[in-house]
Amino acid sequence: MCGIVGYIGNRKASEVLIKGLKRLEYRGYDSAGIALCNNNSCQIYKCKGKVQDLEKLLQDKNAEGSIGIGHTRWATHGEPNDVNAHPHTSMRGNFIIIHNGIIENYSKLKAGLEEEGYVFKGETDTEVLANLFEYVYLNHLNNGDKISPEDIIRETLQMVEGAYGLVILCNDYPDFMIAARKGSPLVIGIGKDEYFVASDATPIIEYTNSVIYLNDDDIAIISRSSLNLTNLKNMKKKPDIQKIDLKIDEIEKGGFDHYMLKEIYEQPRAIRDTCRGRLDFRSKSIHLGGLHNIFDKLAGAKRIIIVACGTSWHAGLVGEYLFEEFARIPTEVEYASEFRYRNPIINKDDIVIAISQSGETADTLAAVQMAKNAGAIVIGICNVVGASIPRETIAGVYTHAGPEIGVASTKAFTAQITVLTMMAMAVGLANKGLTEKEFSQLVDELYIIPEKIEEILERSECIRDISEKIKDVSNSIYLGRGYLYPVALEGALKLKEISYIHAEGYPAAEMKHGPIALIDEKMPVIVIATKDNSYDKIVSNIQEVKARKGVIIAVVTEGDVTIKSIADYVIEVPKTDFALAPLLTVIPLQLLSYYIATMRGCNVDQPRNLAKSVTVE
């Protein structure tokens, strides 16, 4: 979703900003812009389209200045066009701002400003905010009040409802910028006589690894040589400077055509890293340090509620099967957006687990707050270190998938399932849902999962061939049972996200209650049918599809002959425990989507309309 980058120092700001915006492209956006300040005057360049288009716009311009702000916008209020693109300037030019998040009371504020003579160029809530800053500022100026721009920002933000990550330039004070956060992340990078501001650390890490993550209500006043941190209540705060351990090659393509493909291939490494120091193969044990303080409560929980969105929600569904089977704890999985608005029943002995790659998804974050307010213990499973969800939860486990840049989640999904598996196993052993022998067999099996994924990746040619055969279809159905039902949902989501082919995931047995009506010789049905306790049932489901001339693509266990004799195409995966099968079976589905989408000429890393980190509800 929208990306922010700001720079103040001695470098050419336009270069830092354009490079930074390119690093943020993965978040998904539809217009881009920058403001550059030089010799007390600021110029704005912005346009609909990609950062490349913005670069073209800058080509014949004198883009000088060592202070500037840049933004990639994912449209919420107002269509993506040049006018609605950020930065936005107030009507009389006093304030220039970029903004992530949504100002919820913007229409009321806008009406008030219009009564005061303000005229708006576009439809965004951000322009309303720029004008509100100016209105408050000019009122004070006219009254002869001596008030700092920081106080103006503070006073104005008290009038605002909603979420913001903001960077503000004030024309009358050209030597500093102001950053403010509520609900939408901002990180400040500290260099020598220079500072960087960004919505995540990716634009910053090639310059510095010293950063400050702003907290809600923080306001930072940044000049070339100083940073002053206060909050909305005007209390001075001591900046908490942290070192980030993110390397530049982790956010580059490393020889792959796309981030998505790189990330699919990184999964063996990501799972090994997620298990490192936690899954001990020799002593047959699992240590999850981040759960230490609440582990007994988790093991004694009467119920687990998992909240998440998108792919993370699918990982949560796998978690439901795992916790119920290994630990015998009733588990519910909720879309965070539904959970937060439906007055759910949360009991004292319930544990809420929030799963999020980014740790910033607005609905998941709100569900965490709500569960906390209701007195629940909330655990986070997140990939981005230092993000809002890990900071809002009292316990948690990081997935160590590394930065995920492709909008369609791949390695974060398998890393989330790895964490859920370890959690359910550890709890299962503690509360005797699993015997020591069962536990130790699972440890052995989980330990070698990365090798088995490597084997699947080596067979990608066969998946590419199948993709070639079905790339022109308009619809598809994915079927699975048990642990493989969430995999069917995830496979369908991957395909629709990046290839724009309509895809539906179903529990295989549900097919006869509706989707079977869609099956004809043009309908590919992707069946995830590895050997488990519902194998015979899914073979019958495949027969039902074949009887109606559907095209079967089956993901099967190596050596399967039964399905091979019925299906049109098969993709083999190594044998594993039923409960670990999602970690293997999702890999061919990710590759299938990737190849189909690239064959159709789609932009797999930045699919249309989608955002990597959905910071609005």
Rounded to the nearest whole angstrom, what is the least distance from the CB of residue 610 to ligand G6P in the complex? Answer: 5
Q: Among this protein's residues, is 602 annotated catalytic?
A: no
Smallest distance from ligand G6P to CB 141, Å: 43
Q: Is 487 helix (H, G, I), strand (E, B) or coil?
A: helix
Q: What is the contact surface with ligand G6P in residues (CB under 6 A)?
A: 309-312, 356-358, 361, 364, 407-409, 610, 612-614
Q: How far is the CB of 613 from ligand G6P (least distance, A)?
A: 6
- Determine whether 283 is exposed, middle or buried from the number of CB atoms within 10 Å of its CB (0-12, 13-18, 19+): exposed
| Cα four-point dihedral sign 466, 469, 470, 471 | positive
DSSP string, 137-172: HHHHHHTT----HHHHHHHHHTT--B-EEEEEEETT
- The residue (of 46 and 400) whose beta carbon lies closer to ligand G6P is 400
* Minimum distance, C-beta of residue 406 to ligand G6P, in the bound complex (Å): 9
Q: Which is nearer to ligand G6P, 102 or 222 (CB)?
A: 102
CA distances to 114, 116, 120 from 91, in Å: 11, 12, 8
- SS3 of 467-520: the string is HHHHCCCCEEEEEECCCHHHHHHHHHHHHHHHHCCEEEEEEHHHHHHCHHHHCC
Name the minimum Å distance from CB 381 to ligand G6P.
9
Token duo for residue 304: 């687990």
Q: Please, what is the minimum distance in Å from the beta carbon of residue 404 to ligand G6P?
A: 8
Instruction: Name the helix (H) or strand (E) containing 181.
Output: strand 177-182
Is 522 catalytic? The answer is no
* Minimum CB distance to ligand G6P smaller for 556 or for 611: 611
The residue behind tokens 């792959």 is 256
| Residue appearing with tokens 């099996």 | 445
Given the complex with ligand G6P, which of 435 and 609 has the nearer CB atom?
A: 609
When CB distances to ligand G6P are compared, the closest residue is 310
Residue 258, both tokens: 């796309």
Catalytic residue among 2, 42, 170, 382: 2
Neighbours of 581 (CB within 10 A): 24
User: 549, 499, 485, 491: which is closest to 521 by C-alpha?
Assistant: 549
* SS3 state of residue 295: helix
| Beta-carbon contacts of residue 235 (< 8 Å; ≥ 6 apart) | none
Structure tokens at 35: 């403001």
Catalytic residue among 262, 452, 531, 612: 612
Whether the CB-CB separation of 76 and 3 falls below 8 Å is answered with no
Residue 1 Cβ vs ligand G6P, minimum distance, rounded to whole Å = 8
Residue closer to ligand G6P, measured from CB, 71 or 494: 494
Looking at the Cβ atoms of 17 and 495, the one nearer to ligand G6P is: 495
Instruction: Give SS3 for 426.
Output: helix
Nearer to ligand G6P, 31 or 356 (CB): 356
Give me the active site residues, please. Answer: 2, 612
